Amino acid sequence: MYFFEDPQFGNRMITLMAAFVLVLQIAMVGQRWLVTNIRVFAAQSFLLAGIANTIAYFNHAPHLYIAAFLTFSLKAVVLPVVLERLVKRVDIGQEIAPIVNVPLSLLISGGLTTVGYVVAASFHHPEDTASPASLGRNTLAVAVSLFLIGFFMMISRRKAIMQVLALLSLENGLFLAAISLTYGMPLIVELGIFFDLLVAVMVLGILVYRIQETFDSMDVTKLSRLRG
């Protein structure tokens, strides 16, 4: 199995998975059903964990395995489950009318991907493309695009829970950037980030629940009493 030793193969794998991650992100933009969106997010996180594992393997960065495991368990399993239960509980199926309609959203996502590539292009240093350290660096464009599209989703969606999901997918972009650029952050930082993420989702979950209870709706456009 010589190709398991070949960094070129790893690079291809990573690029491929990153491309899928981006596709899934755009799929989220086009998707109106909440539950489907959550599952797409889970799939995306799963792929991310895969990328992390691959990088850990090819670059001999053992602490990335931990990050990959945390990503998998937290983002691909725990959070989707929590969110799906929340959706069931508040009994809301789909986003009826996003603020920006779907075709336009897709178009904008395309534009944002371009921006991501432009930004990432400035990082390319021709002299070190061949070195192993550059492995996975071309995924940076994907990371930036993920980040921007996630951000855009927060703006275009009305449902509170979709905003939470968008925020999480945005963080996926960050995670991708971290593992692809620097093979992850120092472990303790990584742990802290995951802990924060967990708490954040709990806090936001409670808030979503309270919003539903108080406003009888998950539509955050109704949260506009505080002005001026």
Residues that bind other proteins (CB under 8 A): 61, 63, 99, 112, 115, 118-119, 121-123, 133, 147-148, 151-152, 154-156, 160, 163, 167, 170-171, 174, 177-178, 181-183, 185-189, 192-193, 195-196, 199-200, 203-204, 206-207, 210-211, 214-215, 220-221, 223-228
Nearer to other proteins, 3 or 187 (CB): 187
Q: How far apart are CA 97 and CA 59, in angstroms?
A: 45
Are 113 and 22 in contact, with CB atoms under 8 Å apart?
A: yes
The least distance separating other proteins from the CB of residue 3, rounded to whole angstroms, comes to: 26
Shortest distance, position 43 Cβ to other proteins, whole Å: 21
Helix (H, G, I), strand (E, B) or coil at 125: coil
Structure tokens at 25: 């992100």
Question: Considering beta carbons, is residue 6 or 196 the nearer one to other proteins?
Answer: 196
Q: Radius of gyration of the chain from Cα atoms?
A: 18
| Residue whose CB is less far from other proteins, 1 or 188 | 188
Q: Which is nearer to other proteins, 83 or 204 (CB)?
A: 204
Measured from the CB atom, is 103 or 228 closer to other proteins?
A: 228
Q: What's the CA angle centered on 17, arms 12 and 19, to 5 degrees?
A: 95
In the complex, what is the shortest distance from the CB of residue 45 to other proteins, in angstroms, rounded to a whole number?
A: 16
The Cα 148–Cα 103 span in angstroms is: 17
Burial 195-211 (b: 16+ CB within 10 A, else e): eebeeebeebbeebbeb
